[in-house]
Amino acid sequence: MQLSVIGTGYVGLVTGAVFADLGNEVICVDKDENKIALLRQGIMPIYEPGLEEMVRHNVSEGRLSFTTDTEEAVCRSEVVFIAVGTPSLPSGQPDLSQVEEACRHIARALNAPKVIVNKSTVPVGTGDIVRRWIEQYAPGEHPAFEVVSNPEFLREGSAIYDTLHPDRIVIGASNQNAAMKLLELYAPLERPMIITDVNSAEIIKYASNCFLAMKISYINAMARICDLSGADVTLVAKGMGYDKRIGDQFLQAGLGWGGSCFPKDVSAMIATAESLGYDFQLLKAVQQINDEQPLYFVGKMRTALGGLKDRHIAILGLSFKPNTDDLREAKSLQIIAALLAEGAVVCAYDPIAMPKARAIFPQISYCENAYDAATGCDAVAVVTEWNEFRQLNMERLRRVMRQPLLFDGRNIYDPEKVKQAGMQYYGIGRSANSSPFARPSSP
């Protein structure tokens, strides 16, 4: 099939690469000339495992190309994906101006019947708005087009895998032929597909992300209770997670959710609900718990160190989660800003995200590795759970530090082992005596 993807970011580039890999001819479009120039040289503008190989392979096979000329790309395609950004406005509503701009170009290039597929995360009702924009910007008579909602659920860091193995493919269409076109396109993946109306598909995306954010905030709130009561949230989560109705995913207490999706999608759902006349108090609480979590972590450091002024703190991990260099709404940003505001001296290490972080925090130092960052520090704080931090040599860490305090913002260590290495351990919701047999239990 001849496809184009407007917006060559995380979603657009991965979608384009995967569809090309499935044998389609794909043109990826972006208005960012620099990004397109890099891609044409085989240089990826983002880090995503397996992406570079897949892009290079499909470019060399002639199935994948890059352009800044949206209209040319749309003219040559029967299916056009919109995968542009939908960032938050100050009101919390998503800014749809990039979608509108894409529609303006699509409208001018309607040379044949086309299916316009919205992959960007957009509030319920946007399908109708997209249709109206295209009608409005099309110069006079034009061939028919259909608007389909096909929300994206990939996770950064495993975007290629997720796109090849999605849990489900949601197709929101008001026309059977358009739905069939998408079914045909996705058929090689052999994954469950659900066909809905456009509005329901748009809501499925927000309902899913908000639910996952709620699960994380729930366990983080539970972690506060564990800290206050002397329990271990990792055991609580394990005990909950075996219940099939609950499941064990997204029950890891930590510093909260960040990234380019959850924060804006939760805000958008709250704002959309409000505009529809519903006060979504549950989600407001989910958001508040999340906003407090990094500050709660900084508070633990402040208390343990007796203040933060002039304390040297090593931050391990900057990206909002492992395997990505994406810093959007990363917890590291909030934590570093809070530490600096209280006069702490910060050095940081991240396997991939340091170049991007330098542009935000030029005043902190960046190190070669975790031990280098910890050298001479009063505390080490693990903020992103990169695999390479999981097996740190605690004794080596202690030897290079000024004070042996470890703040485990992602609960990745066994507190007992850390203590055995002579370090003081501070996790999230893990103030329990870690061995259940450490105290004699009453019969």
Give the active site residues: 261
Sole window of 79-87, 132-140, 334-342, 435-443 interacting with ligand NAD (rule: CB under 6 A): 79-87
Burial of 21 (0-12, 13-18, 19+ CB in 10 A): buried
Which of 86, 234, 287, 384 forms a contact with ligand NAD (CB under 6 A)?
86
In 3D, which of 343, 230, 220 has the Cα closest to residue 287?
A: 220
32 binds ligand NAD, rule: CB under 6 A: yes
Q: Give whichever of 80 and 102 is closer to ligand NAD, judged by the CB atom.
A: 102
Beta-bridged to residue 82, according to DSSP, are 6, 118
- The one segment of 94-102, 182-190, 302-310, 386-394 that binds ligand NAD by CB under 6 A: 94-102
Asked whether 372 and 349 are in contact (CB, 8 A), the reply is yes
CB of residue 328 to ligand NAD, shortest distance in Å: 8
Q: Which two tokens stand for residue 66?
A: 């890059």
Contact predicate 54/98, CB 8 Å: no
126 binds ligand NAD (CB under 6 A): no
Helix (H) or strand (E) holding 24: none
Taking the least distance from each CB to ligand NAD, the nearer of 26 and 339 is: 26
The reply to whether 313 sits near ligand NAD by the rule CB under 6 A is no
CB atoms within 10 A of CB 254: 26
Measured from the Cβ of residue 196, the count of other Cβ atoms closer than 10 Å reads 16
Half-sphere exposure (CA, 13 Å, Cβ side) for 277? 0
Query: What's the token pair of residue 19?
Result: 């569809």
Output the CA torsion 36→322→228→262 (10° steps).
30
| Ramachandran sector of residue 266 (left: φ over 0; alpha: ψ -120 to 50; beta: rest) | alpha
CA dist 346 and 361 (Å) reads 10
Per-residue HEC secondary structure of 59-120 comes to: HHCCCEEEECCHHHHHHCCCEEEECCCCCECCCCCECCHHHHHHHHHHHHCCCCCEEEEECC
30 binds ligand NAD (CB under 6 A): yes
Using CB under 6 A as the criterion, what x/- string covers residues 264-303 for binding ligand NAD? ----------------------------------------
Q: Does 101 bind ligand NAD (CB under 6 A)?
A: yes
Query: Comparing C-alpha atoms, which of 162, 184, 56 is closest to residue 117?
Result: 184
Instruction: Give the residue at shortest CB distance from ligand NAD.
Output: 9
* 30-38, 134-142, 249-257, 400-408 -> range binding ligand NAD (CB under 6 A): 30-38
Instruction: Say whether 178 sits in a helix, a strand or coil.
Output: helix
Q: Is 7 in the site for ligand NAD (CB under 6 A)?
A: yes
Nearest CA to 353 among 381, 386, 382? 386
Choose the binding region for ligand NAD from 4-12, 71-79, 282-290, 391-399 (rule: CB under 6 A). Answer: 4-12
The reply on whether position 102 binds ligand NAD by CB under 6 A is: yes
Q: Which is nearer to ligand NAD, 101 or 372 (CB)?
A: 101
- The window from 3-11, 165-173, 276-284, 301-309 that contacts ligand NAD (CB under 6 A) reads 3-11
Decide if residue 329 touches ligand NAD (CB under 6 A): no
109 lies in the binding site for ligand NAD (CB under 6 A) = no
The region of 81-89, 134-142, 181-189, 413-421 touching ligand NAD under the rule CB under 6 A is 81-89
Distance in Å, CB of 10 to ligand NAD, minimum: 4
Give the shortest CB-33-to-ligand NAD separation in angstroms: 10
Task: Work out whether the CA dihedral 272, 278, 280, 281 comes out positive or negative.
Answer: positive
Minimum CB distance to ligand NAD smaller for 131 or for 419 = 131
Q: Does 36 bind ligand NAD (CB under 6 A)?
A: no
For the segment 134-173, give every residue that binds ligand NAD (CB under 6 A): 152, 154, 156
Q: Based on CB atoms, which residue is closest to ligand NAD, 79 or 237?
A: 79
Of the candidate residues 3, 5, 20, 83, the single one contacting ligand NAD (CB under 6 A): 83
Q: For residues 30 and 325, which CB has a smaller minimum distance to ligand NAD in the complex?
A: 30
Sheet holding 25-29, edge to edge: 64-67, 25-29, 2-6, 79-82, 114-118, 145-149, 169-172, 193-196
Interface residues with ligand NAD (CB under 6 A) are 6-12, 29-32, 35, 70, 83-86, 98, 101-102, 120-121, 152, 154, 156, 260-261
